[in-house]
Amino acid sequence: MKLETRIGYGWDSHEFKRGIPLKIGGITLPHSKGLGGHSDGDVLLHALTDALLGAVAAPDIGSLFSPSDPQWKGADSSVFLHEALQRVKTAGYAVTNVDSTLILAAPKIVPHAAAIRARVAELLDVPSECVGLKAKTPEGIGTDNAAIAHVVVLLEKIRTKTKRPQSRKPKK
């Protein structure tokens, strides 16, 4: 069976820590705390990377970029996203759209949403209108000191142009 579309789902969370910059969606946001992690802690790009990898049945982000591997210490999460996109392309698919939800108490995402959407769209090479971004507060779930991201991606099979056979002219 030939699949024309694929869906991937990714989820990630990181705890807030003092003394590090806050990166979400490839954008550094002004805030008193950043997200801890072996890399830059970009919860949105990590969830997006896992969604892309899952859509093409590839290994997850932790298997490809082990947190115990020192080469990924402080790494920019766009490196992980780039690898996932290469695997999507190799599998013969392209990103159609992305929908994401961030869950965090602070900072407020609305003032930064357009910049985050634009950066994610740029990284994925899709128009900004193909990137959905919502933010919710963690009311009652006890995760006020963490950021959580949920991401769903839709991929479509890349259609290759087939060469039409040339008509054969009869020999004279």
What is the CATH classification number for the domain harbouring 101?
3.30.1330.50
Mean pLDDT over 49-63 rounds to: 95
- Give the integer Cα–Cα distance in Å for 104 and 16: 10
Residue 169 counted as domain residue = no
* Burial profile 2-18: b = 16 or more Cβ within 10 angstroms, e = fewer: eeeebebebebbbebee
Residue 124 counted as domain residue = yes
Which has the higher per-residue pLDDT, 96 or 161?
A: 96
Q: What is the pLDDT of residue 170?
A: 56
- Nearest CA to 107 out of 98, 116, 96 is that of 116
Residue 75 counted as domain residue = yes
Rounded percentage of the chain residues whose pLDDT exceeds 70 = 92
Out of 34-38, 125-129, 139-143, 158-162, which region has the weakest mean confidence (pLDDT)? Answer: 158-162
Put simply, whether the predicted model's pTM sits higher than 0.85 gets the answer: yes
Give strand pairing partners of 16: 35
Q: Above 60 in pLDDT, residue 82? A: yes
Residue 138 counted as domain residue = yes
Residue 168 counted as domain residue = no
- For the chain, how many structural domains are there in total? 1
Q: How far is CA 97 from CA 55, 88, 127, 141, in A?
A: 12, 13, 9, 29
Residue 163 counted as domain residue = no
